[in-house]
């Protein structure tokens, strides 16, 4: 375990990008072999649109990387955070760190992105994808991504999470983000068994249903325990899912400029009882 953590901490930037490519490739192969839905869409164009958002997030991550290094150095020097108060086995401290980051920087902030109106306006872009596949995991408006990074920094400080633990978490969360969004049909029994511990493709797909209440469920990224603990879990027949968002115009899901401007468009109605034109739903 010590060797793995040390290796992750010393990885070069190109190796981290390679990990993203490996995770995507793994899920693309699964989508080709056994898709959950047989989409009629231009996959390369869909990938291109979502990769624009990935590029913007990578640029933001570079800035946060500088800030994060400073925070890690300060916390280590001052022994600040809960993990500095204990001396437990490395595997246990690493497990706690990953779970707390998953809770704060994924589940909690994701719940708030759906609950607080101005945060929801940024998060709508992620839900506007009408053909959810592995690349949808990269589809985050910069405002959405910054919010998630801020919560990660808060968790790092509160729990005193070392840099190596944080990097290990990032590798885990990248894999699970692509895996849970992938258009893969796992054997039903396997998906259900796995969903008791981790977030599976079938489980997360309900979160991308076009309307509530399913839209406001299954907020987890790595562990399904948070949704089970806080009563936000839904698990039914994934064939009943329809992607997109009832308050947006599905025809513009591939319009990059429209998507970037969407949070600031006052004509977009975020009232769950109205459609994207502001008309009362029947």
- Of 101, 102, 93, the C-alpha closest to 2 is 93
Q: What is the pLDDT of residue 273?
A: 52
Q: What is the pLDDT of residue 269?
A: 67
Give the mean model confidence (pLDDT) for residues 204-228: 93
One DSSP character per residue, 150-185 reads HHHHHHHHHHT--HHHHHHHHHHHHHHHHHHHS-B-
Angle formed at CA 20 by CA 15 and CA 25, multiple of 5 degrees? 120
Confidence of residue 139 (pLDDT cuts 50, 70, 90): very high
User: Distance between CA 136 and CA 251 in Å, rounded?
Assistant: 17
Confidence of residue 274 (pLDDT cuts 50, 70, 90): very low
Which tokens go with 160? 């005193």
Q: What is the pLDDT of residue 276?
A: 37
Burial tier of 281 (Cβ tally within 10 Å: 0-12, 13-18, 19+)? exposed
Looking at the chain, the whole-number percentage of residues with pLDDT higher than 90 is: 60
User: Distance between CA 143 and CA 120 in Å, rounded?
Assistant: 10
Q: What is the pLDDT of residue 271?
A: 60
Taking 80 as the threshold, does the pLDDT of residue 118 lie above it? yes
Query: Could you give the angle at which helices 43-78 and 142-159 cross, rounded to 10 degrees?
Result: 30
Confidence of residue 2 (pLDDT cuts 50, 70, 90): confident
Taking 70 as the threshold, does the pLDDT of residue 39 lie above it? yes
The whole-chain average pLDDT of the chain stands at: 88
CA distances from residue 270 to 221, 263, 266, 277 in whole angstroms, order as listed: 24, 10, 10, 10
β-partners of residue 158 are none
Domain ranges, ordered by start, for the chain: 2-8+44-185+256-264
Taking 80 as the threshold, does the pLDDT of residue 8 lie above it? no
CA distances from residue 92 to 88, 141, 244, 249 in whole angstroms, order as listed: 7, 34, 40, 47
């Amino acid at each position: 375990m010590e060797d793995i953590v040390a290796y992750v901490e010393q990885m070069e930037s190109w190796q981290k990008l390679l990990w993203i490519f490996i995770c995507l490739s793994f899920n693309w192969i699964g989508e080709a072999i056994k898709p959950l839905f047989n989409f009629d869409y231009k996959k390369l164009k869909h990938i291109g649109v979502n990769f624009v958002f990935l590029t913007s997030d990578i640029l933001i991550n570079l800035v946060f990387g500088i800030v994060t290094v400073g925070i890690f150095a300060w916390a280590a020097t001052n022994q600040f955070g809960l993990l500095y108060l204990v001396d437990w086995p490395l595997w246990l401290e690493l497990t706690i760190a990953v779970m707390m980051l998953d809770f704060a920087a994924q589940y909690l902030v994701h719940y708030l992105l759906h609950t607080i109106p101005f945060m929801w306006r940024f998060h709508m872009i992620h839900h506007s994808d009408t053909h959810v596949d592995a690349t949808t995991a990269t589809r985050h408006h910069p405002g959405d991504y910054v919010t998630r990074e801020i919560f990660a920094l808060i968790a790092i400080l509160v729990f005193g999470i070392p840099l190596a633990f944080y990097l290990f978490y990032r590798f885990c969360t990248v894999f699970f983000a692509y895996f849970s969004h992938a258009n893969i049909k796992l054997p039903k029994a396997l998906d259900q068994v796995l969903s008791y511990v981790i977030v599976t493709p079938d489980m997360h797909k309900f979160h991308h249903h076009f309307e509530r209440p399913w839209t406001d469920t299954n907020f987890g990224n790595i562990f399904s325990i948070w949704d089970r603990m806080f009563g936000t879990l839904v698990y039914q027949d994934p064939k009943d899912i329809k992607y997109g968002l009832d308050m947006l115009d599905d025809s513009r899901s591939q319009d990059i400029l429209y998507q970037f401007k969407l949070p600031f468009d006052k004509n977009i109605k975020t009232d769950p009882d109205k459609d994207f034109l502001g008309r009362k739903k029947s």
